[in-house]
Structures are given as structure tokens and as C-alpha cells.
Amino acid sequence: MKRETHGARPPITSIVARSSCPVCAALREFQNDFVKHMDPDNCKHFCNTHAWVVANSGPAECVAAIFLKAITSPEWRPAAAVPDQCDLCKRMHEDKELRLNEIAEQLRDPKLRSWLHDYGMICSRHGRDLMAKLPEELRRSIQELMARNSGEIAEMLADFLQQVKEGSHAGGGILGRAAELLVAQRGIEN
């Protein structure tokens, strides 16, 4: 699967300023752009999750051509959600590695590291992946960020549960934030 056009790839430093995991956000943007610009001749294998992503987000004519080719091909088999089998998982994995390397490089800047430590967010999966790419002296910053994120969300969840017991449960998206902290967003990564 290749893209016919490439959308602008925002620098990771602009994505870090959002209230979500910057790697998840970058991959979501990559996936959305990729699906909009698919080439049906180069899309041969897809996992269940990406079949639904393609069906829901791709250009209808392109998606119909991809699915028709799969349905009429006696050799076609569904792919597992791993980069060596699903074309979209492969591209997502490649972009994830580029983004992790980019943020690892940017974390050498003490200002960004300090801001991220105090205000940033990173999901557990990408936080662990990022720590593996960092020199030992920078890993502690990500560990502290993950601990702060976990503590804040744990406190919000405890408040939410108390509100439920009292008959009031505004929520404010806390369950989605907790899910994002725990795992990379569904459909964004295998």
C-alpha cells in the first residue's frame, strides 16, 4: 500500500502540546492521511482492525476495489495484526518508529523535557517503547511522566467512582483518558 500524496507531517514538538499521547496522536494523523490516499493496487493484506478502518475512512471507490480484489482472489487470507502481515500495520509500525526516534531526539532539549514532565501525557505502551530508545539519564524523566499521568488519572477515577456512589457521575471523559493511558488507541497500532 502506498500513498499517492503525502500530507504535511507535523513535528512531534507541536503534537506534544496536546492533552494526549503524542505518539498516538501522530499515528492517528498518519493513519487518517494514509487511508485517504491509498492505492488499491498496493493494498493486498489487512488485519481485521484495519479492514474496518479502511471501510470506514477510505475513499469508497478505492475501498470497493480493495475489497473486491480480496473477495475474488482464491489466495487471499486475512492478515494477523502484525507488521509483517498487514500492509497498514507495517506502515503504522514504520511511522511509529520514526516518531519515537524523533521524540527521543527532541527530549535532549531540557526545556521540552521539563515541559513534558510537568504537563505532557504519554500512554503506557509508547512510554515503554520510548524509554527503550533513550539513554539511561533521560529514562527517569519518562518514568516520572508516566507515574504522574497514572497518579492523576487514578485520582480522577477514584473521584468518578465516589460520584457514582453518590448518584452523580459527570465523568468528563475520564474512562477514555484512562483507556488511552493504558493502551495505544484502538486502530492506531497493532
Q: What is the DSSP string of 7-63?
A: -----HHHHHTSSS-HHHHHHHHHHHHHHHT--GGG-----HHHHHHHHHHS-HHHH
Distance in angstroms (rounded) separating the CA atoms of residues 41 and 189: 23
User: Helix or strand or coil: residue 93?
Assistant: helix
Q: Is residue 114 part of a domain?
A: yes
Query: In the prediction, which pLDDT does 13 show?
Result: 66
Domain hosting 171: range is 12-182
Q: Is residue 188 part of a domain?
A: no
Q: Is residue 187 part of a domain?
A: no
Query: In the prediction, which pLDDT does 84 show?
Result: 76
The number of folded domains in the chain is: 1
pLDDT band of 45, cuts 50, 70, 90: confident
Lowest mean pLDDT among 79-88, 111-120, 131-140: 79-88
Q: Is residue 128 part of a domain?
A: yes
Asked if the model's pLDDT at residue 2 lies above 80, the reply is: no
